[in-house]
Amino acid sequence: MFDKLEIAEGKYEELSHKVSDPSVIADHDEYRKLMKEISDLDSIVRKYREYKKYRQELADSREILESESDKELLEMAQEEIESVRAKLALSEDELKLLLIPKDPHDEKSVIMEIRGGAGGEEAALFAGVLFRMYSMYAEKKGWQVEILDSNPTEIGGFKEIVFLIEAKGAYSRLKYESGVHRVQRVPATEASGRIHTSTVTVAVLPEVEEVDVDIDPSDLRIDVYRSSGAGGQHVNKTSSAIRITHLPSGIVVTCQDERSQYKNKDRAMSILRSKLYDIARQERTAGIENDRRSQVGTGDRSERIRTYNYPQGRVTDHRINLTLYRLESILNGDIDEIADALISEEQARKLAGESN
């Protein structure tokens, strides 16, 4: 571990020297790239320097124990040793976590897709409930939410809704939401009062930049049409909605929530880039057994990850066997406890993998 830390500190110092070079400062792309590398290393190097400071303090206190005969000074030195040992242990644990390979997309914004699955109108209604949950969570965090595309139903749900949550670090908190969400409740449309089970599929994609994905314009078919609302009625008199078909993959994305055709096209391209990048990333990691073992359900959209049971007021995350009896607060956006538990589980698995 300490060999890795020495290498990280050396690279940090080298990069810090490079970014002061006028020729690098003049090259905007190179400067931005180097500053990103420095930013990625900063927390590790700071923590390592703190660790080395504690280690030096421990050595100094031990030297006092060996060289002093004054009882009071010896007692102070012993107290200092115990205090610094505790700080060293904590610092070492924090360094181990910092050295776990990071998901390069953790700092990115996210594009989320929620689609009703089994259950018809009830599934569409619960898709609306989940959209509200994520919107309220984003609001608590001070994050921006922007609807990119939606297909609402007449009774207030969504057959599907695609939206952007724009914030640094949003992906690190929300990536575990990908998968099938199951709801058990008495539907508003059910007169007999029987409990129904419905499903909603959630996909979470990191928002990627143009430089991350190369898309050949000749591979695209772009159609323009009029936006429509619930029940199919047109909501715009002008043709501003955009449908982009990526011919090689067959992926189709639409965007109709902006009045401007150009804004809709930009947003649709952003969704397409994220989808293509996600497919390429899954293909790259599919054959890597260690990566698959260390994941806590962050990509398989067919995996049932969570159940929301209304009669019992409980939410159960099946990946980590976590059950919480506070359904209402969770649906009001209080999902940090679930996110924290999933992050801790993944960190524990990765730490175990590092030690094996």
Same domain, 268 and 122: yes
123 and 32 in a common domain: no
Q: 81-94, pLDDT tens digit by residue? A: 888 888 888 888 77
pLDDT band at 234 (very low <50, low <70, confident <90, very high): very low
Question: Do 282 and 211 belong together in one domain?
Answer: yes
pLDDT digits (tens, 9 = 90+) for 105-131: 888 899 999 999 888 888 999 999 999
Average confidence (pLDDT) over 253-258: 74
Domain membership flag for residue 104? no
Task: Tell me: do 155 and 60 sit in the same domain.
Answer: no
* Same domain, yes or no: 275 and 308: yes
Domain span at residue 285 reads: 110-348
pTM for the whole structure: 0.66
Do residues 166 and 293 both lie within one domain?
yes
22 with 136, same domain: the answer is no
The Cα 266–Cα 263 span in angstroms is 5
Of 52, 69, 99, the domain-final residue = 99
Tally of domains in the chain: 2
Give the pLDDT band (50/70/90) at residue 64.
Answer: confident
Residue at a domain's end among 99, 132, 160: 99
Rounded Cα–Cα distance for residues 135 and 165 (Å): 8
Does the residue 356 lie in any domain?
no
pLDDT at 290: 44
229 CB-contact burial (10 Å; exposed 0-12 / middle 13-18 / buried 19+): middle
Amino acid identity, position 51? Y
pLDDT above 90: percentage of residues in the chain: 28
Share of the chain above pLDDT 70, in %: 85
Domain co-membership, 66 together with 181:
no
Cα separations (Å) of 202 from 46, 160, 196? 37, 10, 20
- In which residue are the tokens 């980590």 written? 320
Span 295-304, mean pLDDT?
Answer: 57
Residues 45 and 190 in one domain: no
SS3 content of the chain, % helix, strand, coil (to 5): 50, 20, 25
Is residue 165 assigned to a domain? yes
CA end-to-end distance (rounded Å), the chain:
14
